[in-house]
């Protein structure tokens, strides 16, 4: 049996920490890339510099952009996101849709689907893969089976965020809708809602996760630890734990 390739492993950076320190930590821990949020038209790093994109690029350390968008943001910031992806020469981008605005939940998910069709068309011309992530239940976008089926009809790829699941059954349900091709990994307590704990703290057994649910997975993995927990040690320990999990499955 062919064993899966070793995935690229990145981490979500802390938005209030100097970017030089975040790059240094990622290199120290052996991460392959950083995930940087694109929010309200800005790349979120802990430095007040006039051209953040150029500053980030100057470090020559790989990144992926994670756009945290409302439905209105597709129109407001779509051009800028396309510009940034072209500037960095990326072939992948993440969109995390949130809030339903003033629409009904059904209409909001259908509008999100249509917005994704439009922006995916733009990225297709650049050879860029678009990932959209699941939200935690009972969120109004990309959360339930029906909502995910509606949104994924746009043709985008699915990013599974384990910080947004509430059981192993929920994980299985999401995989049946569409196999994820990108992962946000965080641990959490299933009884809680949205939670992004270090990988060693919570109810998710990542040995089980990869051996049972994502056995042949070889796409990108991004460790997302909430800012309230995200010490250097948390990122270092989470990376070591994940390395062991991935090595054992091989």
Q: Fold for domain 9-249? A: TIM Barrel (3.20.20)
Q: So what's the pLDDT on residue 1?
A: 45
Confidence of residue 250 (pLDDT cuts 50, 70, 90): low
DSSP code of 3? P
Q: How far is CA 182 from CA 177, 209, 224, in A?
A: 15, 14, 13
Reported pTM: 0.95
Dihedral of CA 222/6/207/235: which sign?
negative
Q: How far apart are the first and last CA of the chain?
A: 11
Instruction: Look at strands 129-133 and 63-69 and give their pairing.
Output: unpaired
Structure tokens at 218: 């070889």
Q: So what's the pLDDT on residue 127?
A: 98
**What is the tens place of the pLDDT at every residue in 145-202?**
999 999 999 999 999 999 999 999 999 999 999 999 999 999 999 988 788 999 999 9
DSSP code of 95? E
**What is the tens place of the pLDDT at every residue in 109-155?**
999 999 999 999 999 999 999 999 999 988 999 999 999 999 999 99
Q: How far is CA 27 from CA 20, 42, 45, 74, 223, in A?
A: 11, 24, 17, 33, 14
Average pLDDT on 210-215 reads 94
Residues above pLDDT 90, as percent of the chain: 88
- The DSSP result for 108-175, as a single string, is HHHHHHHHHHHHHHHHHTTT-EEEEEPPPTT-SSS-SHHHHHHHHTT-PEEEEEGGG--SHHHHHHHH
């Amino acid at each position: 049996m062919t064993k899966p390739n070793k995935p690229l492993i990145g981490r979500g950076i802390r938005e209030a920490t100097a970017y030089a320190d975040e790059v240094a930590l990622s290199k120290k821990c052996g991460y392959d890339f950083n995930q940087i949020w694109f929010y309200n038209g800005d790349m979120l790093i802990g430095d007040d510099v006039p051209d953040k994109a150029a500053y980030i690029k100057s470090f020559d350390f790989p990144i992926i952009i994670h756009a945290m968008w409302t439905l209105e943001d597709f129109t407001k910031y779509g051009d800028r996101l396309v510009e940034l992806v072209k500037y960095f020469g990326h072939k992948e981008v993440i969109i995390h849709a949130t809030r339903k605005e003033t629409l009904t939940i059904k209409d909001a998910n259908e509008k999100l689907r249509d917005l994704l069709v439009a922006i995916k068309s733009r990225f297709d011309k650049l050879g860029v893969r678009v990932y959209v992530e699941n939200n935690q239940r009972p969120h109004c976008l990309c959360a339930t089976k029906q909502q995910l089926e509606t949104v994924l009809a746009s043709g985008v790829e699915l990013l599974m965020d384990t910080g947004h699941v509430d059981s192993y059954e929920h994980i299985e349900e999401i995989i049946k809708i569409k196999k994820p091709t990108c992962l946000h990994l965080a641990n959490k307590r299933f009884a809680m809602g949205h939670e992004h704990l270090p990988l060693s703290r919570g109810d998710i057994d990542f040995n089980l996760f990869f051996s049972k649910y994502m056995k042949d997975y070889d796409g990108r993995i991004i460790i997302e630890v909430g800012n309230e927990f995200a010490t250097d040690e948390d990122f270092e320990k989470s990376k070591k734990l994940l390395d062991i999990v991935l090595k054992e499955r091989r």
